[in-house]
Structure 1
Amino acid sequence: MLKLERISKTYKVGAFGGGVLHAVSDVSFDVAAGEVVSLIGESGSGKSTIGKMILRLSKVTSGRVLFEGTDIATLRGSALKGYYRQVQGVFQDPFSCYNPVFRADRVFSMIKEEYFPGTSAAEWEEKVEAAVSAVRLNPGQVLGKYPHQLSGGQLQRLLIARALLLDIKLLIADEITSMLDASTRIDVLNLLAELKARGLGVLFITHDLSLGNYIAERTVVLRRGSVVEMGPTGRVFGNPCHPYTIKLLDSVPRLHEKWTTTEPAAEEPWVREELVEVEPGHFVAGGYRGSGAGSGVREEPAPR
């Protein structure tokens, strides 16, 4: 359904734009219908930039983003509007998506004006209530409220309901649980799992490895704008091969272990390396072959 072909994003930086910042470099992966793919990496790794390029909120410098075989950069007018009817994004801070002087359900009326102008008021009200109920909210308790009267979890689920009204095929979920408490976070993740079961494809952008492991079939790990490891989530988490992935997994707190102070490892010079398939469906930059989480062992690169 969604296919990224060696997409890159660069910015002009420095005095008079004399320098170049490589925010994303030659990233390729795909998302199928009914699949959740986690895009994982630390802050500044390029995760959100990739989400914005998929949503055409940021222009691709090189490479292509294909949706159902069509390069989205070529879409104009009604074709672009049709794209947004199938692909939507939900972002980290739900409060920033609402105007505080309007009721929260105004996000639904904007959809009606743009995509369903001929729908009667009664029919539209029925559609909205069905979408709100689908995200485990009581329409009578949330519709008509102002943003400050609702929790972050309720506002986030209303945004997902807004996307459902369009009968979308792909959801870009960018850090959508980072501002939620633990119980609400699980509710939103379980909701995404239910939507996946209905055939919705989800790109789940997060820096939280535990959440990615919980929900995704496949995982893509980013470092400094490049993919360093990707594959089935069980293989990436169960047999991490790249030192950066191993480092990320070692950083996850463990419930039954005390926190201890350790000296930070020296930062290695970063050179982007080609991905090598080290086991079926499991790709690692540079052909690293670790021996499990925390091993930190590097063998000789696999033959290319």
Structure 2
Amino acid sequence: MLKLDRVSKTYRVGAFGRGTLQAVRDVSFELKPGQVMSLIGESGSGKSTIGRMVLRLLRPTEGTITFDGQDITGLRGGGLKEYYRHAQGVFQDPFSTYNPIFRADRVFAMIRQSYFPGVKDDEWGDRVVESVRSVNLNPDLVLGRYPHQLSGGQLQRLLVARALLLDIKLLVADEIISMLDASTRIDVLNLLADLKERGLAIMFITHDLSLGNYLSDQAVILHKGRIVERGGTERVFGDPRHPYTRTLLASVPRLGVRWEDLPVPETGAHECDAPLEQVEDDHFVACFDDADVHHGRKSEPV
């Protein structure tokens, strides 16, 4: 359904744009219907930039992004509007998406105005109620309320309900639970799992490895704008090959273990700037160098 082929993004920085910053470098992967792919990496790894390029909020500097076989990088006007009928995004801060002076369900009215202007009021009201119920919300408790009257989890699920009013095939979920409390996170995660069962493709962007492991079929590990490891989630988490992936897994907090006692993975690194190399059926690892992994602790490598 979705294919990225050697996608890169370079920003102009500094005075008068004289400098450059390469945020994403030669990223390639495919996402299939009914599949959840987690893009995992630290802040600044390029994962959100990839999500914004998929949603056409940014244009790639190099490479192509195709959706159902169509190159979306050059879409404009009606073609771009039609693409948004099938691809939608939900972002990190739910409160920033809503205008506090309007009721939260105004996001549904905007969809109606853009895509369904001919639908009658009664029919539209039924569609909205059905969509809200499909994300495990009670319409009587959330419709007609202002954003400050709802929780972050409710606002996020309303945005998913808004997307479901369209003929959506792809959902880009960019850190959508990082600002939610623990009791609410599981509800949103289970909602995404339910959408997966309906055949929706989900790009799940996160810095939390446990969340990626909980939800995804495929895992993409990003570091400094490039993919360092990619494959089935069980393989990437169960047998990490790249030292950066090992560092991430070793750094996950565990009960009964203090920070200074965590082991430092050895790199065994060498200079290389080649593309991903296949190590098993669907398990790919990038070449790396010693500068790829930095660790602040002084302890013996495992």
TM beyond 0.5: yes
- Tell me what 1:81 maps to: 81
Q: Which runs of 5+ in 2 are unaligned?
A: 290-299
Segment of structure 1 superposing worse, 244-253 or 9-18: 9-18
1:34 alignment partner in structure 2: 34
Provide closer, same or farther for how the CA distance between residues 270 and 47 of structure 1 changes in structure 2, counting only shifts above 3 A: farther
Which position in structure 1 is the counterpart of 2:258?
259
The CA distance in 2 between the partners of 1:272 and 1:63, in whole Å, is 18
Correspondences of 1:268-283 after superposition (within 5 Å): 272-283=273-284
How many Å apart are 1:258 and its aligned residue?
Answer: 2.6
Deviation for aligned residue 1:142:
0.3
Letter of the 1:178 counterpart: S
In 2, distance between residues paired with 1:26 and 1:167? 30
Q: Is the contact between residue 175 and residue 205 of structure 1 (CA under 8 Å) also seen in structure 2?
A: yes
Counterpart for residue 186 of structure 2: 186
2-side partners of 1:38 and 1:137: how far apart?
A: 26
Assess if the C-alpha contact under 8 Å between 2:41 and 2:207 holds in 1: yes
Aligned pairs (5 A) from 1:18-167: 18-167=18-167
Query: How far is 1:65 from its partner?
Result: 0.6
Distance in 1 separating the partners of 2:95 and 2:49: 20
Displacement of 1:183: 1.8
Q: Per-residue displacement from partner, 1:48-89 (whole Å, max 9, x unpaired)?
A: 000000111011100001001111023222221110000000
Residues 229 and 283 in structure 1, CA contact (< 8 A), matched pair in contact too: yes
Q: CA RMSD in A?
A: 2.1
SS at match of 2:30: strand
Specify the code of the residue in structure 2 equivalent to 1:33: P
Contact 1:226 1:272 in 2 (8 A): no
1:246-300 per-position Cα deviation (integer Å, ceiling 9, x unaligned): 0000011123x23232599799999644211111100000289xxxxxx977xxx
Q: What's the secondary structure of 1:20's corresponding residue?
A: strand
Contact kept? 2:270, 2:288, Cα under 8 Å: no
Partner Cα distance (2:271, 2:170) in 1: 33
Could you list the per-position Cα deviations for residues 156-206 of structure 1 after superposition, in whole angstroms to 9, with x for gaps in the alignment?
000000000002000000000101111211111111111111110000000
The alignment partner of 1:102 has SS state of coil
Q: What letter corresponds to residue 14 of structure 1 in structure 2?
A: G
Distance 1:152 1:62, change over 3 A: same
TM-score for the superposition, normalised by structure 1: 0.91
2:269 matched to 1:247?
no
Tell me the distance in 1 between the aligned counterparts of 2:259 and 2:247: 15
- Separation in structure 2 between the aligned mates of residue 148 and residue 172 of structure 1, nearest angstrom: 25
Percent identity of paired positions between Structure 1 and Structure 2: 64
1:17 and 2:17 aligned: yes
The whole-number CA distance in structure 1 between the counterparts of 2:79 and 2:45 is: 31
- Bigger mean CA deviation after superposition, 101-110 or 75-84: 75-84
Find the aligned partners of 1:286 and 1:16 in 2 and give their Cα distance: 35
Going from structure 1 to structure 2, the CA distance change for 1:271 and 1:139 (only over 3 Å counts) comes to farther
SS of structure 2 residue aligned to 1:261: helix
Q: Over residues 83-125 of structure 1, what are the superposed CA-to-partner deviations in whole Å (9 max), with x where a residue is unaligned?
A: 0000000000000000000000000000000000000000000
Give the letter aligned to residue 257 of structure 2: K
Q: How does 1:210-229 map to 2 (within 5 A)?
A: 210-229=210-229
One-letter code aligned to 1:277: Q
Partner amino acid, structure 2, of 1:253: P
Distance 2:192 2:35 in 1: 10
Query: What's the TM-score, normalizing by structure 2?
Result: 0.91
- Write the distance in 2 (CA, Å) between the matches of 1:260 and 1:43: 20
Q: CA deviation at 1:15?
A: 2.6
1:198 equivalent in alignment to 2:198: yes
